[in-house]
Structure 1
C-alpha cells in the first residue's frame, strides 16, 4: 500500500521540477513511511511513497520496464500477480523483481488497456509510456484505492492519492465548489467524481484515463461495471457452495504478505466470516483486533471475544471512551474533504490498535452492498412490491396526501415511521431510495441556504445524480437498483473512503476480501429471494456460514460503530454548535442563513429537536472549509 503523485504536461515537454513532486509525496508520507522515490523526464514527473508489504527489498518505485520505456507508480495490491507473472513469462517477459508492480508493467506492455480486466485486486496507478508520450491513469473496479487529479493553469495535469498532495502545488487555486457542498449535505460525503475544491476531480471507480502530450484533457472511460440483469438458475445448496468457494479464494488470496497480517473483528457477520475463513486457511493463530466502548448500549466486544475464542485467535481488544470528540480536528486532517460519517472515529481507533500488531488487516467491508445487508435495501424491496401493486397516480394522491398530514416521528424505529414510508411510497422507487440514502433532505438544505447560495445552485439537486444512476442501472428489480446505487455511489464515497484514509493515516494496509469482483459479479446474478428472505438481508451468505458461526452472530440485529454525537452537542460541544451561525468558517462563506444555523443549534441544545447528525455534518464541513480555504 502506498501513496502516489505526479505531474504531466499536455502540449509541451516542459521540465518538471523533482522537488515539486517530492513535496507532493511528502504531503502523503503517512501512506508510505518505508521509502520514497521520484522520476522525471521531459514533460512528466512521477512520485511514490512506499509501505512495504510484498518483495520488501526488491520493488522500489517509480519502476521502469522495457528498457525504461514504461514507468509506473502504483498504490494497491494485485492478488493474482503470481499467476499473471507465470502467464507473461510464457510470452517471453523477463522479471527482475518478485512483486506485483512489475507484473502490471509487463501486463500493460503485453495487453495495453485490456490488462486491467486481468488484474484481481485494489489499485490506483499512473503509467507513463515514453515512446507514446502518454500517461495512463487507472482505478480498481470498486474504488478501494483513491485517485484525485486536476488541470492546472500551465497546461499540466497533477494527480495524487489524496487531495492534500495536490494542495501543495502552487498553481492549484483553492476555490470551493458549491455543488460539492450540496452533494455533501445530501449524502455526508463528496461523491465521485466531484471534489470540494473546484477543478479537482476523482477518477471514478472502474474507470481509466489516458492523457496525451498532444491534445486536451480527455474524459475518463469506464472499463468495468456490475450487471444485475442475469439470474442464476442454480438451487440454494449449489449457490451456497459456490459462494463459499469464492469467499475462501478471496480470503486466501488476501493473506499473502511478507509482513504481519491480521483482521478487524467487530463480532458482526461480515468480519466474523472473514476471520472464520482465515482460521480455516491458516496454520497459526489469526491475529484479530477489536475495540469496545465504555457504554453498554454501544458495545459489541462480547461478540468479538466469542468469535476470537471460537477460532482461537490471537486477540487484541481495547475499550475506548464514547466521548472521542477531542479527535475531531484529527479527522479533518485525515479526510481533507468534509466527511460526516461519525463511525470514522472508532474506525481510526481500531486501525491504530491493529497497527500496533500487524501491517495488513483484512476487513469485512462490502458484503452489505453485494448481498443486500442494509436495512434500507430490505425496506426498499418491500416498498417496491407495494409500488408495483398500486397505480402511480393513486400512490401520489392517496399516499402522498396521507404522508403530508401524518406526524413526523424521527425518534421511532423505522417500521413505525409511517410518515417517511408513506412519502417514500408516493414517489418513484429511485426517488424513495435517494431519500433513504440522504442524510439531510432537500427541504432542510434549502431552508439552511442563504439567498445567494440558492441562486448559485439554481435547480441543481444532489439527489438527481443518484436517481439517474439508478434509472440507468443494468438491473431487473428495485432491489437490484438499490444495490447498484450502493456499490457505485455509497461504497466508494463513504465506506471505502472511511477505511482507506483511517488505515493509511497510521500506515496500515486494509484489504477487503468481500469486495472481490468475482463475489460481486456472482451476487449480482442471485435471484432476489436469495439475497432477501423473510425480512433478512444477506440470506444466502448467512445460510452458507451457519456451518461456521453461531446463530446469535448470524441473526442478531446489525449495530455497527455508533457515536453519541447528539449528546456531545448538548454537552461538551454545545459551544461549537452555537458558533456555527456567527463565529465559524461557515459563517464567513455566505452559503448559509446564520439565523437558521443558530436556530437548529438552540433547538438541539434545549432538547426540543434532535439535530445531532445535522450539526455534526455542519461541524465537519466547517473544519474542512477552515483548512482548505482559510474560512
Structure 2
C-alpha cells in the first residue's frame, strides 16, 4: 500500500505493527527510509531489517513529504506518551506553535519540532476534543494502545483525503488514495452505479461519503470514527462505518457596514496566508490571473517583504495560444505589481491524451473537464522548478459567490422578498457588467425557483444535461435517474444558503479532490488559505449584498484588498481559472481526436455508454448542441474503467 503512493511521500517511509493483547509495537522502514532515521535516538525510530509480524492485528504505514522539521524527528509513524499513542498523519497544523506552548505549560515535553508530535500531545491532553483546537488541513489515524482503540479524523472542509474499505474477510483498511486498496486480498473494482450516474449526467462527485467504487467510502469533512480494537470492526450494512460529526459550518454573526466587513476580511485573510507560509522548504503559488489566486500572490508577496525575505517569490500559471482562453495580460499585471518570478506552461492537446492514463490513475476517479490537465501541468512545472509547497485560491468562489449561479440565488432571494426594483437593477447591472441579458437572468431565476419537473428541460436549454439520457444504459449501470441536488441547490433561498451547500455538500470537495491528486502526483503539497475556517465562517455570516451588489461579485474581497491588488485585477469581472481551450479543441482543432477518444470510451465502458454518445458529441462539434463538458466526462469515465479494470455490478453474476 505504501509503494502504490510513493509519489505522496518520496522523502521517507515507515510502518508500525501491533500484535497480542497488549498491542506490542514493532516498527520498521523501507527502501526510502533515510539511514539517519534508523540511527536516530527517538522512541519511534524504525528498526533496520524488521519485518511485519505474522500475528499483527493492526498496522499503520506512512509516506513522508518533508515540509516541517525535515530532520528524522518528523519520521512517521510517530509515537507519544511512552509508546501509548501512535499516529500516521497527512496535512499541516498551522497553529502548532501556539498549541505547543500551551501543552508545554501543561507539562508536555517534545522531542521534535514537528506539528505531528503536537497533534499527538493534543490528543493525549484533550482526546477527540483536540479537533476543535486544530487550525489546518489534516487526515490521520491514531492508535491508543492502552484503551485499545483506533481513532481517525478528517479536517473541516475535506482538504486532505481519507478513504476506507472493508474486505470480504472483514479486514478494515484506511488509505489516502483509493488505489491503495487494489493491492489487498479480495479487492474487486466494481462501479457504484448511482455515483457514476451523478458524475456523468450531473458532473458531480464527492458529494456523499460514497465513491465511484462500490464499497469504498470516505470520511466526510469534519467527521471522525472510533473503533474498538478488542472487537472485530463494526460496520453498518455494505461496510459503511458510523461517523461522528465533530464540525458543522455556521456563519459568524455580523453587524456593521461594508467598511467593517472589508477590514475584517483583510485581517483574517492576511492571517491565514501568513500561517500557510510556514515551511522549511521552498513555497510558491498558483497564479491564474483571476481575483482569487492574484489575492493569494499579492498578500503573500506583501507578507514576505514585511518579513525581510530576499528570495524572489515564484508563481506558476497556465496559458494558452488562443486569446479567448489566455489570461497572460492579467498574470503580467500581477507580476509587474509584485515583482514575482513568473513561470508559464501551455497545456498541449497531444500531451493531454498521451498522459490521460497516468492522470486517471493518479486521480483515482474520473475528472470533469480538461481544466484538471491544466492544473496538472502547473504542478508539474512547479515540481521541475524545485518548489515543494504551493498556495492556491481554492474555496474562494464558494464562499464569496464567484460562480454564475450565485446571480440566480440573488435573483431568487430578491424575488421571494418582492423587491422588484432591486431585482431589475441587479439584472440590468449584470447585463452591463457581464453581458448577461434578461433572458439569461430569467433562466437562472427559474432554475432556482421551479420544481424539478420543470427544471429538467430548462437545464437542457442552458447546456446542462440531466435525467435519463439516450447515451447512458441505466439498467446496466444500476442507477436511477435521480437529481443529486434534490432539495439542495435548486431551492437555495439566498447566496449564503447556496454557499453553505457548495462548501459542505457539493462543489468544494470535488475540486479539493482534483487538486490533492494533481499536486501529490508531483510530490507537492497544495495549501488553500481561503479555507481557514475562521475566514469562511466570517464570510458566510456577511449579508448577501457584501458578496454581490449591482453586478459586482466578491465585493468584500475587492474592498478588503484595495491597495494590495493592482486595480486592473481588483476590478476585473471576467473569470476563467486554469482553463483549457476545450471547446476549441473539440470543435476546431481536433474533432477527430475526440471522436476517436469517445469511441474508445464507449468500448471501455462495457456497454454503460451507449453508441448514441457519439451522436451527442457530433452535435456538439457541429454546434447543434450547446458546448458542455459532458463529452469529456464520457471520455474520462471510459479511461477510468479501463485503468482500474472497473466492471458493472451485473458482471459479478456472470
Q: Distance in 2 between matches of 1:251 and 1:157?
A: 37
Is 1:223 the equivalent of 2:223? no
Q: Is the 8 A contact 1:189 1:493 kept in 2?
A: no
Matched with 1:489 is 505
How far the C-alpha of 1:47 sits from its partner, in A, is 0.6
* Structure 1 position 581, deviation (Å): 5.9
Instruction: Report Cα offsets for 1:139-194 as digits up to 9, x if no partner.
Output: 11111101111111222210111111112212222221101111212443422311
TM-score w.r.t. length of structure 1: 0.85
Stretch of structure 1 that moved more, 549-558 or 134-143: 549-558
Give runs of aligned pairs for residues 147-546 of structure 1, distance below 5 A.
147-191=162-206, 192-213=208-229, 214=231, 216-217=234-235, 218-228=241-251, 231-282=253-304, 283=308, 284=310, 285-321=312-348, 324-326=351-353, 327-355=355-383, 356-389=385-418, 416-417=439-440, 420-421=443-444, 423-424=446-447, 426-427=449-450, 440-443=464-467, 445-450=468-473, 452-453=475-476, 456-458=478-480, 460-464=482-486, 467-468=487-488, 477-546=493-562
| Runs of 5+ consecutive residues of structure 2 not aligned to the other structure | 20-56, 236-240, 421-434, 648-654
TM-score of the superposed pair, with normalisation by structure 2: 0.82
SS at match of 1:315: strand
Superposed CA offset, 1:322-341 (max 9, x none): 66532322321221211113
Residue 469 of structure 1: how far off its partner (Å): 7.8
The residue correspondences of 1:562-577 to structure 2 (distance < 5 A) are 562-570=579-587, 572=590, 574=592, 576-577=594-595
Q: Paired residue for 1:39, among 8, 11, 16? A: 16
Contact 1:585–1:626 under 8 Å retained in 2 = no
Residue 103 of structure 2: aligned partner: 88
Distance 1:459 1:433, change over 3 A: closer
Moved more, 427-436 or 90-99: 427-436
Please tell me whether the aligned partners of residues 185 and 440 of structure 1 are also in contact (alpha carbons under 8 angstroms).
no
User: What is the distance in 1 between the residues matched to 2:247 and 2:453?
Assistant: 23
Could you tell me how far 1:414 is from its partner in structure 2? Answer: 7.4
Residue 428 of structure 1 and its aligned partner are, at CA, apart by: 5.3
1 CA distance for matches of 2:443 and 2:324?
26
Rounded Cα–Cα distance in structure 1 between residues aligned with 2:401 and 2:256: 19
Structure 1 residues 430 and 528 mapped into 2: Cα distance closer, same or farther (>3 Å)?
Answer: farther
Is the contact made by 1:144 and 1:492 (CA closer than 8 Å) also made in structure 2?
no
Contact 1:470 1:485 in 2 (8 A): no
Residues of 1 paired with 2:599 and 2:504: CA distance?
35
Q: Which secondary structure state, in structure 2, belongs to the residue aligned with residue 146 of structure 1? A: coil
1:48-197 correspondence to structure 2 within 5 Å: 48-57=62-71, 58-191=73-206, 192-197=208-213
Q: What is the number of residues matched between the two proteins?
A: 577
8 Å Cα contact 2:268/2:534 also seen in 1: yes
Deviates more, 1:356-365 or 1:415-424: 415-424
CA contact (8 A) 2:601 2:639 kept: no
Instruction: Give structure 1 stretches of 5+ with no counterpart.
Output: 1-23, 392-411
What displacement does 1:267 show? 1.8
Q: Which moved more, 1:105-114 or 1:335-344?
A: 335-344
Q: Which moved more, 1:369-378 or 1:98-107?
A: 369-378
How far apart are 1:220 and its partner, in Å? 0.7
1: CA distance between counterparts of 2:15 and 2:526?
25
Taking the aligned partners of 1:346 and 1:451, their CA distance within structure 2 comes to 32
Q: Does the 8 Å contact 1:360/1:508 carry over to 2?
A: yes
Deviations 1:539-575 (A, max 9, x none): 0110111211233212221122222323434453535
2:94–2:135 contact (8 Å) kept in structure 1: yes
Question: What is the DSSP-based 3-state SS (H/G/I as helix, E as strand, rest coil) of the residue aligned with 2:213?
Answer: coil
Aligned to 1:21: none
CA contact (8 A) 2:197 2:481 kept: no
Change (3 A) 1:34 1:84: same
